[in-house]
Amino acid sequence: MNASDRDSLPRFLDIATEAALTAGAVLQAHWGDLDFIEEKGRAGDLVTAADKASEKAVLEVLQRHLSDHDILAEESGNIGNADSRYLWAIDPLDGTTNFAHQFPFSAVSIGLLIDGEPAVGAIYDPYRRELFRGATGLGATCDRRPIQVSKTSQLRKSLLVTGFAYDRRETDDNNYAEFCHFTHLTQGVRRTGSASLDLAYVACGRFDGYWERGLSPWDIAAGIVLVREAGGTVTAYDGSPLDVNSGRILATNGPLHEHISQELMRVSPLQNVGESVPSMKNG
C-alpha cells in the first residue's frame, strides 16, 4: 500500500460505511418478507429478495463514488474495472439462512482489498443496530467507539465460534470433528451462521477465536481488517499467511492463536459423514 492509498483510507471507510448503512436499511424494510426464497444450486445455499435488494443498494453507492474500482459481489459476481488495484468484496446479507428463518442474526459486510490485501471493512448488523468499522492503521470501532480483542490466554477459559460449509453433507472436508474437539477443550463453541459477525465479535472481544472453511472473500474481507486493527491475529489454519481465496481462515485474539492452530492441525476429519445422514433430497 502506497502513501496515496493510506491517505485515501478514511474516504474509502466512509464510503463503505454509507454502503453498509444504506443496505442495512433495506434489510430492515424486508424483514418478514419471505415470499421469494431460492436455492442457488447447493442444498441450503439460499438467496432472498432481501439479498438482491441489499446488493443493489450497495452497488449504487460504490459505483456512484468509485466507478473505476472493481467489485466482487456475492449475487452479481465480478463487475466494474477488472484491472483495478481496488477490489470491493461485498456480502449484502451475510446470514441468509438466519434471515429466511426469522432468526435476527445477519449483517451487511463491505470489504476493500488493495492489491489483494484487506484494507477497509464495514459490517452493519441492522437488527442490533451495531456498526463495526476499521481500516489499516486507523483502528477498529463499534458504533464509533474503539474496540479490542480479548486477553484470554487459556483454551479452557475461551469461547470460540465457527460455521459449517454448505457442502458439509457431501464432503469429508468439514469441521465436525474440530467442533467436537474444541467443545471439549473450551468453555464452549458457538455456531451463529454469519461469518462477518463472527469476525466482528472476535474483534470486540465477545469471542476469543474463530475458524471456518468453505468461505468466499466477501464473507471475510471486512472482518479480517477489524480483527487485525483490534489487535488480533488472522492466518491460515497452520499459521501461514492467509489467502482470502483459500476458503479457510483462523482469526483469534492473538494469545490463543498458536494453541488453536496446533489443535486444528491435530484433528482428523470425520469420514463418510454423508453416508449416515438422511438425504435432503427427500425432505
Structure confidence by residue, pLDDT tens digits, 215-242: 999 999 999 999 999 999 999 999 999 9
Least reliable range by pLDDT among 47-51, 53-57, 88-92, 184-188: 47-51
Q: Work out the angle between the directed axes of helices 257-266 and 176-185 (0-180°, nearest 10).
A: 130
Query: What is the predicted pLDDT for the residue at 35?
Result: 67
Query: What is the predicted pLDDT for the residue at 54?
Result: 94
CA distance 76 to 9: 25
Mean pLDDT of all residues in 195-216: 97
Query: What is the predicted pLDDT for the residue at 34?
Result: 72
Query: What is the predicted pLDDT for the residue at 270?
Result: 66
Extract the C-alpha cell encoding 153.
490466554
CA distance 283 to 281: 6
* Overall pTM > 0.85: yes
Which percentage of the chain shows pLDDT scores above 90? 76
CA distance 50 to 108: 11
Query: What is the predicted pLDDT for the residue at 87?
Result: 98
Query: What is the predicted pLDDT for the residue at 283?
Result: 35
On the question of pLDDT at 254 being above 50, the answer is yes
Query: What is the predicted pLDDT for the residue at 47?
Result: 66
Average pLDDT of the chain? Answer: 90
Binned at pLDDT 50, 70 and 90, residue 170 comes out as low
CA distance 5 to 120: 11
Residue 230 CB neighbours (<10 A): 26
The string of pLDDT tens digits covering residues 126-148 is: 999 999 999 999 999 999 999 99
Q: Work out the angle between the directed axes of helices 195-203 and 217-229 (0-180°, nearest 10).
A: 0
The string of pLDDT tens digits covering residues 2-33 is: 999 999 999 999 999 999 999 999 999 988 87
Domains of the chain (ranges; CATH) run: 3-146 (3.30.540.10), 155-266 (3.40.190.80)
